[in-house]
Structure 1
Amino acid sequence: MQSPLFNYGEQQSQERYAIQNPQLLRVALNGSDDILARKGAMVAFQGLVDFDGEYQSPNQRRRGQVTGESLELMRCSGQGTVYLANLAQYIHIVDVDRDGMTVDSSFVLALDSGLHTEILAVDSEYGISGSGKYQLNITGQGKVALMTSGQPLMLSVTPEKYVNVDADAVVAWSTQLRVQMQAQTQSTSITRRRGSTGEGWELSFLGQGFALVQPSEVMPPQNAQIGGGLRGQFGADGQNRNNAWS
């Protein structure tokens, strides 16, 4: 059999995390260090690999329900190679250091099992669409695989140059940055988007670090159904109800 499809063979790499292609992650397991991946993200694997749901304590489940910031993971262990993907999103590998990284859990594909995660509140008395009032903080030393809709923009934040980003487009930022939600709106109601511009809540970053933004204000909805109706627009669980998807 002959086909141009055979040009898309496996990429050989000595790295634990490697980009098979821009939308597919290759992870090598050596039998000692497990990884945690988004539930259902495995598209293929080779070798003796086990997949198991990652346990969440009652307190963790309760915090996820209250804050809406919850990351359901599976543990991948054994010896072999695992290929991970989610809705053809672009994948990026990040080395987390002791300073930590704050991220919307919707954009996490996989991470080293030795990293620590906790839910943090963003400084505002109001909730915002998309990004949410709460975020996931990741600390320790290890790697995280993030997803974006399209190729992202990395913005540098310095004491001389602060950065404002749309709350629906931000993916992650340096934990040490000072963050404030704001809506510079002429509207009499803060719950409405800014006047007639279509712009609403934004995050303002100050300090020294980075802010990562994707070129989209919405991720494809999980479990979306083709066609019209709420399930086609927001996904089966309505997770994108604050955004427009077409």
Structure 2
Amino acid sequence: MRSELFSAENLEKESAQAGMRLQNSKMLKIELNGEAMARVGSMVAYQGNVQFQALGSGGLGKFLKQKLTGEGVPLMKVTGQGDVFLAELAKDVHIIDLEPGDALSINGSSVLAFDSTLQYDIRMVGGAGMASSSGLFNCVFSGHGRIAITTKGTPVVLNVDAPTYVDPQAAVCWSANLQTGYHRAEQLGLGTLLGRRTGESFTMSFAGQGFVVVQPSEEPPVLGSGQQQQEGGLLGGLLS
């Protein structure tokens, strides 16, 4: 049988070392020998002796906090030995290596999978979202290990060495040590009172030393307290 479908670029990527790596730009492969954490519903295929266990938002404490904040990542624990392939709506997949002392604040809707050696918590985003449809909370990861995130399209990584402003629904993740706030991007005036709006009322502000990852697409806004569209807002509640 012959087809370009069977070209080398589409064949399964093999490695002698366990762990997560990119199968391609849209798919993550975990060569599993133990356990890893993954987003519920993200498995598209697996081979070998693998078990999946739903964990809610990552433990009772985080589950209760999620119920109060509307944030969190619906997780499943993946255990065993084999190859597991993960994807999320054909979004681009990126792998970030965290080392001791690193901390990453990330939009919960962008988390695809992470090593079980990492710790994460749901924390308030300082000063952000007070006058927008975005949430007030984000997932903060720390420790030593890998995390796979998704973006809608190819992102830009902004080096925060000057005051930086980002649309809240386009911000994917940022250095957790950055100071965040919100900034009125649209000037109030007669045109605003007459209904002429730019669609950019508020932006998130970042200060300090670090980076911000921005995707070329905006997440749909939150519809109301505890409710949102299917994809969720910046910090959209991800557990039903």
Shorter-chain TM-score bucket reads 0.7 to 0.9
* d(CA) in 2 for partners of 1:173, 1:72: 21
Give the structure with the higher percent strand: 2
| Consecutive unaligned residues in structure 2, runs of 5 or more | 221-227
* d(CA) in 2 for partners of 1:239, 1:133: 13
Structure 1 residue aligned with 2:6: 6
Distance 1:119 1:75, change over 3 A: same
Between the two proteins, what is the percent identity of the paired residues? 37
The correspondence of residues 225-244 of structure 1 with structure 2, limited to 5 A, is 234-235=229-230, 239=232
| Mapped contact 1:129–1:168 kept (Cα < 8 A) | no
| Mapped contact 2:169–2:234 kept (Cα < 8 A) | no
Structure 2 residue aligned with 1:47: 48
The correspondence of residues 190-201 of structure 1 with structure 2, limited to 5 A, is 196-201=197-202
* d(CA) in 2 for partners of 1:242, 1:196: 24
Q: Secondary structure at the match of 1:54?
A: strand
Structure 2 residue aligned with 1:230: none
1:68 and 2:63 are equivalent in the alignment: no
The correspondence of residues 147-186 of structure 1 with structure 2, limited to 5 A, is 147-158=150-161, 161-186=162-187
C-alpha displacement of 1:23: 0.2
1:22 and 2:25 are equivalent in the alignment: yes
Structure 2 residue aligned with 1:128: 132
C-alpha displacement of 1:186: 2.6
Amino acid of the residue matched to residue 3 of structure 2? S
Structure 2 residue aligned with 1:59: 61
| Mapped contact 1:234–1:241 kept (Cα < 8 A) | no
* d(CA) in 1 for partners of 2:59, 2:94: 29
| Consecutive unaligned residues in structure 1, runs of 5 or more | 220-232
Q: TM-score, normalised by structure 2?
A: 0.83
Q: In the alignment, which of 143, 147, 151 is matched to residue 144 of structure 1?
A: 147
C-alpha displacement of 1:3: 2.0
* d(CA) in 1 for partners of 2:214, 2:49: 37
| Mapped contact 2:62–2:122 kept (Cα < 8 A) | no
* d(CA) in 1 for partners of 2:153, 2:66: 28
RMSD, aligned CA = 2.6
The structure with higher relative contact order (CA 8 Å, sep 6+) is 2
Amino acid of the residue matched to residue 198 of structure 1? G
Deviation track 1:185-204 (CA, whole Å, cap 9, x = no partner) reads 3348xxx9x96111132111
* d(CA) in 2 for partners of 1:187, 1:68: 31
Distance 1:40 1:96, change over 3 A: same
Runs of 4+ off more than 3 Å: 55-59, 238-243
Q: Secondary structure at the match of 1:75?
A: strand
* d(CA) in 2 for partners of 1:114, 1:26: 18
* Aligned length, in residue pairs: 219
Q: In the alignment, which of 112, 124, 131 is matched to residue 115 of structure 2?
A: 112
Amino acid of the residue matched to residue 165 of structure 2? N
Deviation track 1:85-143 (CA, whole Å, cap 9, x = no partner) reads 0100000000112221000110000001121111111122715334x211111111111
* d(CA) in 1 for partners of 2:234, 2:20: 33
Q: Secondary structure at the match of 1:95?
A: strand
Amino acid of the residue matched to residue 20 of structure 1? Q
Q: Secondary structure at the match of 1:63?
A: helix
* d(CA) in 2 for partners of 1:242, 1:178: 17
Higher mean displacement: 176-185 or 209-218: 176-185
Distance 1:241 1:109, change over 3 A: closer
* d(CA) in 1 for partners of 2:141, 2:155: 20
C-alpha displacement of 1:242: 11
